[in-house]
Each structure stands twice: as C-alpha cells, then as structure tokens.
C-alpha cells in the first residue's frame, strides 16, 4: 500500500494539480494534514478537489480561523487579511465542511496525522526536543505533521532522537527514506501551496508500507500563474512574493 501525504495546500490549485500529476498512478490512498485554505487564491476549488481524493483530512490553524472556530487575532495582519478574503470566497457548504474537520492527532490509514505537534495542534515543531515530546508516548511507527512548511523530520530509536536530511536536491524529484526496524518517525511531507524551506517547488510525500520507504517529493509548478490570480484577488503582496522564494 502506498499512502499519499498532502499538507498545507493553502488554496494553491496550480501547485495541487502539479502534485497530483506527479503522483498519478503512484498511490492507493491519500491523507491530508490540514491548512487546506488560507493565503492562496483558490480556496473553493482546492477544498472541492481534496474532497474527491480523501476524507481523511484533519484541520490546520488556517482552516480553523476561516471556519470561525478560532480567532485570527493572533495572526499577522497579512495572514488575517487572507483569512477574511477566504471567508468571502467559500459557500456555506464548504464553510461547514471546514468547520467539521477533526483535530489531530488522528489515526488514519495506519499512520498518525498531526497538523502542528502531538502535544498541541497549533505548535510549530522545529527542534528534536519538541519532536521527542510526542514520539516518547507514541505507539505508532509513522506519524506525519505539517504546519512549519519545512519538508523533513525526526527518527527515534533507543532514547536517541535524530534530525533526518530528507529533502531532494534541486534536480531530483524525490529522496527516499528507508525505515529502520524498531525506530519511530515524525515526518513532515512539506507544504504544497506555500513552501518555506528555501525550495519553491511544491512538496509532498508517499509512504510505501510494503517496501518500508517514505519518498519525499518536490515538483515545480507555474508560480507566476498563481501570483497573477493573487494580484487579481488583491491578496497581500508579501504572500505573492514569497511563493517564488520558497520562504
Ligand atoms: Zn500552513
């Protein structure tokens, strides 16, 4: 079984389509780690397309803010503007779908889905200490998280936590992580719609259970077409510029 891991789509349909094209024929089931909407110009079409692919979707902080489950007062002004614009673009049906997305951690398809951290769905996991806090208690080999928009992750074995170098080089489509016996993993497939790890290509992962491999993919997409739609929608400029930088 090959499981497609989608995260932080952020209403970027062009990036989402590029991911689905690159992954075509390579997966049997799909899951999503949240932040379906927010920042990007295509919240309705991305939400509708995701629903045709999987129902194993957990919520991210942007989904919560747009659905009105959490206030966007803590968001920076640019993110807050995007939340308000996104609300204006969604039908009552899509708003209600967003508002019923469950929080992580959630078990689905043999893995654990997390948006931020095991211990707090809104926490950004950047350090081994943060990863360790959740992995210590986890009984599952593979847990996946998003939120940071950084592709990568951690392995845990005999009380040792290790940061894994997982990102493919610029000309490579993917890099493969070979899963070791008796290890536990906390892995981030990266962001589809707004990568922030310095590589502007859309990121995703595929977990291959039969071969005990997780593939970390990057796929180029037409960034300028997304930027044009963002200008037309009057979305804030910093959000438009950062797509080309991957920051
Ligand atoms: Zn996000």
Residue 206: give its domain's CATH number.
Answer: 3.60.21.10
The range of the structural domain enclosing residue 181 comes to 2-245
Measured in Å, residue 49 CA sits from the centre of ligand 1 at: 18
CB-facing half-sphere around the CA of 216: CA atoms within 13 A: 23
Predicted TM-score of the model (pTM): 0.96
Contacts of 20 (CB under 8 A, 6+ apart): 53
Q: What is the pLDDT of residue 149?
A: 98
Long-range contacts at 80-88 (CB < 8 A, ≥ 24 apart): 81/235, 81/236, 82/38, 82/39, 82/235, 82/236, 82/239, 83/38, 85/233, 85/234, 85/235, 86/11, 86/37, 86/38, 86/43, 86/62
Report CA(35)–ligand 1 centroid distance (Å): 5
Q: How many domains does the chain have?
A: 1
Q: Please report the pLDDT score of residue 134 as a whole number.
A: 87
**How far is residue 12's CA from residue 73's CA, in Å, rounded to a whole number?**
24
What's the pLDDT at 45?
A: 98
| E strands, the chain, in order | 2-6, 29-32, 106-108, 111-113, 142-144, 152-157, 160-164, 174-178, 184-188, 202-208, 213-219
Residue 141 C-alpha to ligand 1 middle, in angstroms? 24
CA of 172 to the centre of ligand 1 (A): 24
Query: From ligand 1's centre to the CA of 62, what distance in Å?
Result: 7
CB 77 within 8 A of CB 66: no
| Sheet architecture: strand order including 202-208 | 29-32, 2-6, 202-208, 213-219, 174-178
φ, ψ at 38 (rounded to 5°): 100, 135
CA of 9 relative to ligand 1 center, distance in Å:
8
Distance 8 CA to ligand 1 centre (A): 5
Q: Name the stretches of the chain with pLDDT < 50.
A: none
- What token pair was written down for 94? 């899509």
Q: How far is the CA of 124 from the centre of ligand 1 (A)?
A: 10
Say how many Å lie between the CA of residue 136 and the centre of ligand 1.
25
> Residue 7 Cα, ligand 1 centroid: separation in angstroms?
8
The alpha carbon of 221 and the centre of ligand 1 are apart by a number of angstroms equal to: 18
Q: What is the DSSP letter of 179?
A: P
3-state SS assignment for residue 83: helix
Helix axes 13-23, 223-232, angle to 10 degrees: 150
Count Cβ neighbours within 10 Å for each residue of 188-215 and write b for 16 or more, e otherwise: bbbbbbbbbbebbbbbbbbbbbeeeebb
Length of the chain in residues, anyone? 247
| Distance from residue 57's CA to the centre of ligand 1 (Å) | 14
């Amino acid at each position: 079984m090959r499981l497609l891991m989608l995260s932080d789509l952020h209403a970027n349909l062009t990036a989402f389509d590029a991911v689905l094209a690159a992954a075509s024929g390579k997966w049997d089931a799909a899951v999503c780690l949240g932040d379906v909407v927010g920042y990007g110009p295509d919240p309705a079409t991305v939400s509708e397309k995701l629903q045709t692919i999987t129902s194993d979707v957990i919520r991210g902080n942007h989904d919560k803010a747009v659905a009105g489950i959490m206030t966007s007062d803590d968001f920076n002004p640019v993110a807050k503007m995007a939340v308000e614009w996104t609300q204006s673009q969604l039908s009552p049906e899509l708003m209600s779908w967003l508002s019923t997305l469950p929080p992580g951690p959630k078990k689905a398809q043999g893995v654990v889905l997390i948006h931020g951290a095991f211990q707090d769905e809104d926490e950004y996991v950047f350090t081994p200490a943060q990863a360790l806090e959740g992995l210590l208690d986890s009984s599952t080999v593979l847990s996946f998280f998003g939120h940071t928009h950084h592709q990568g992750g951690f392995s845990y074995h005999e009380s040792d936590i290790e940061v894994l170098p997982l990102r493919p080089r610029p000309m490579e489509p993917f890099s493969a992580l070979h899963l070791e016996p008796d290890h536990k993993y906390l892995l981030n497939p990266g962001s589809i719609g707004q990568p922030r790890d310095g590589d502007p290509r859309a990121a995703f992962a595929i977990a291959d259970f039969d071969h005990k491999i997780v593939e970390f993919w990057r796929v180029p997409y037409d960034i300028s077409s997304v930027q044009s739609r963002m200008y037309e929608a009057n979305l804030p400029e910093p959000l438009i510029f950062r797509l080309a930088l991957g920051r």
